[in-house]
Structure 1
Amino acid sequence: MSRLAVLVPGGSGQLGKDLSAVGAERDAAVRATSSSELDITRAGAVLEGVTELVETARAEGRTPVVINAAAYTAVDAAEDDEHRAFAVNADGPRVLAAVCSSRRVPLIHVSTDYVFAGDATTPYEPDAPLGPRSAYGRTKAAGEDAVLGSGASAWVVRTAWVYGEGGSNFVRTMARLASEGVDPSVVDDQRGSPTWTVDLASGLLELASVIAAGDGPRRRVLHCTGGGETTWYEFARAVFEEVGADPDRVSPCTTAEFPRPAPRPAYSVLSNASWREAGLTPLRPWRDALSAFVRAGKNSLVDS
């Protein structure tokens, strides 16, 4: 199997941190950069970063791959700041893909369930029609188009309901509320598949290894999420259970009772069939991953 040299724009986020951690366990040389270190909207910075990746890979006998984890993910804020969201989520990937194409470096671009309308009743396949209903979803869909139409050796990997160590996410919020004695109401009419960044990072690095070996999947859009599906309410109850709190403290509500600036997909379960068909290892069931996440960070789960 090829030894990897991986550049991760957006590397200061939850996924980027776990790509670095998992990469270290697999002898992959991962350089995870923050937006201040590598702004993907600036062509000169991207060219410099990818060129350095290629030179490092050549010097160390590794195969270079870029995994783009950079994104504007403030879903509600994007409704009033779509121009900025478009710059990061669409223009940036376009620049990155163009540079990767010119330097012949494979690109894996991470995308989202929000590119779909959310009105399905069965898991979305990669070739299902897009229908984003939020600014965030529209800009991410535009980013996918930019990458896939760039001529680069590129793959788009959609994921959903991501959580990990550090930063703000649903699991940490629920754990904090549990510790503070707050009894939250959580929407019970939105369905998806929670995904731990450690598992996602492992999957993305497996994909990168396959691509580096010259066996990249024929299908250029793949779905990769935790196994199974749930609602935010059921997810919250599971978090309470894992941290030793009474899950009955969590009460269900409807989306209409909890309005947000950006519309959320009511159903955004992504089918992982394409991932399995590519010969890649399916991510573990979401409930098992949640248990492992809580065990791994029990002492620091509510610190940030």
Structure 2
Amino acid sequence: MIGLGVAFLGACFVTGLAAALLVSARPTAVYEPYVEPGPEVVRTPVVDREWRTTLRLERHRIVEREGFAEQRPPDAFDVTELGMRHHHDEQVPDGTQEEQLWEQVPYQDVETYVEQVPCGEDCIDLPQTCSESCSDDGNGFATCTTHCTGGGRTCTPRTCSETRTRPVTRTRPELRTRTVPRFRTEPREATWYRWRVREWQVERTAERTGRGADEPTWPSEDELAPIEGDDPSRFARDATWRVTLRADAQRTFVTTPPSLEDLARYPMGAERWLEVYPRGVFREIAAPPADASIR
């Protein structure tokens, strides 16, 4: 039984040693700083175009408005005062009040530390080596001489750990009280007015929409006829448009050309080059760089 126990312990020791060697033989992981990849260059055909044009007929009509004096336009007329109304709230001084707060306050303390100081020497005796040499006196006797080297002592300085104290400045939180201004909220009123003024207002609109290969067109002014009444009139135009480019089955990109006229630069099926960055940001380029990664 004793032999089996010794064999078992020996096997465990060898297994543990082998595992330790395997662990120590593993390479140390090296973490490189993250470098964001550069843009990807993709060829994208135009797969869709959308546009909407709007023509508005606006009339310069007399309307009635209300508000405070600072809201009244300079060309207002028939101004009537309608009494006082709440204008805003104002914070006004109302004495002082005490408030508590925590502050970090310095104080002197003593700390203990350990310092290495000289405390004598550690010496050892050096061994002496001797040898004897003899010479024949010629009369049956010899004269012998003993020569020794080494010996003596060598010493090295010794240091000891010594506990010492020194003053230090520390801080601790203390609850303090201070006097601060107090304010109260007071409402302020101002005169409320009614007035009349001329403003441009939309009377009618006409729209055109298109998609794909349709070329943008504007509604005609005749679509908003007749213009009745003596109020001045004017026409105003605005439009929205966008182009869809497809890189692959999973990725499409929507871009807005600078103007409606520039939509002609994006006929259906035309190819455009894009630089696509990791977070989905992209920009159109004239041609791919020579060293670009093209998809």
* TM-score w.r.t. length of structure 2: 0.17
TM-score by length of 1: 0.16
Higher relative contact order (CA 8 A, sep 6+): 2
CA radius of gyration, larger in: 2
Higher helix share: 1
